[in-house]
Amino acid sequence: MRIELHRESASIEPFGKSDHRTEFNPERIAIVAADGRVVAMRNNPRASFARHDMRTHWDPLHHAYFSGYALWTCMTTPFLLAMDGLDVREIEPWREGTEVWRGLRATFPTAIASHSHEQDFYFGPDMLIRRHDYRVEIAGNFPVAHYASDPVSVDGFRLPTRRRIYLRGDALMPLRDELMVSIDLADFRFD
């Protein structure tokens, strides 16, 4: 995956076929062949999720759009919290085991494609991200608790390599038997 830090843009390669990649930005999603030919494209991709819930079938462009904004969001956090247009304020901390994690609530502008308009971020005593709570608006607005762990150091930045996203129940509790997404990342670099 390749992302840009200062504007919302991402690409995943390979995608579907070994010679295909995605081109994501909030206004457009495309699947592009190695020769530059556009295999499939959708403008205003978020509108294509109207009336979806967590059981609705997704086509490849739905998957590409979700993957583009979701991975861009997780890979640019916490940097994205300093972007113009985001309103960020401190919220109640979260207690996880013996640790207390400081919380921030970010209200996203409509120009940024992401999980939901409001999202909560929790940081451990070392100020590294530990948890990210949001609702998946494009799939029926269901709540999740997204855990980030196992950081590595890359060019002076500490980046989590392990991400586990659980359905979230009452009182913000993750439903540990309801793992929605599991992501393991490696080989980071900044260009």
pLDDT band (50, 70, 90) for residue 24: very high
Question: Over the stretch 135-151, which tens digit does the pLDDT of each residue have?
Answer: 999 999 999 999 999 99
* Residue range(s) in the chain whose domain bears CATH number 2.50.20.10: 77-191
CA distances from 137 to 47, 49, 53, 67, 158 (A): 11, 9, 9, 14, 29
Residue 157 dihedral angles phi and psi, to the nearest 5°: -105, 145
Closest of 25, 65, 23 to residue 48, by C-alpha: 65
CB 22 within 8 A of CB 29: yes
CA atoms in the 13 A half-sphere facing the CB of 114: 27
| pTM of the complete model beyond 0.75 | yes
Q: What is the pLDDT of residue 147?
A: 98
Question: Over the stretch 115-128, which tens digit does the pLDDT of each residue have?
Answer: 999 999 999 999 99
Rounded mean pLDDT of the chain? 96
Question: Over the stretch 37-57, which tens digit does the pLDDT of each residue have?
Answer: 999 999 999 999 999 999 999
pLDDT band (50, 70, 90) for residue 19: very high
**CATH code of the region 77-191:** 2.50.20.10
- CA dihedral defined by 112, 118, 124, 127, rounded to 10 degrees? 40
Six-digit token string for 120: 């909560």
């439903």: which residue's tokens? 175
> Distance between CA 123 and CA 127 in Å, rounded?
5
Average pLDDT for residues 52-81, to the nearest whole number? Answer: 95
List b or e across 2-27, with b for residues whose CB sees 16 or more CB atoms inside 10 angstroms: ebeeeebebbbeebeeeebbbbbbbe
Q: What is the pLDDT of residue 170?
A: 94
Q: What is the pLDDT of residue 165?
A: 98
CA atoms in the 13 A half-sphere facing the CB of 169: 7
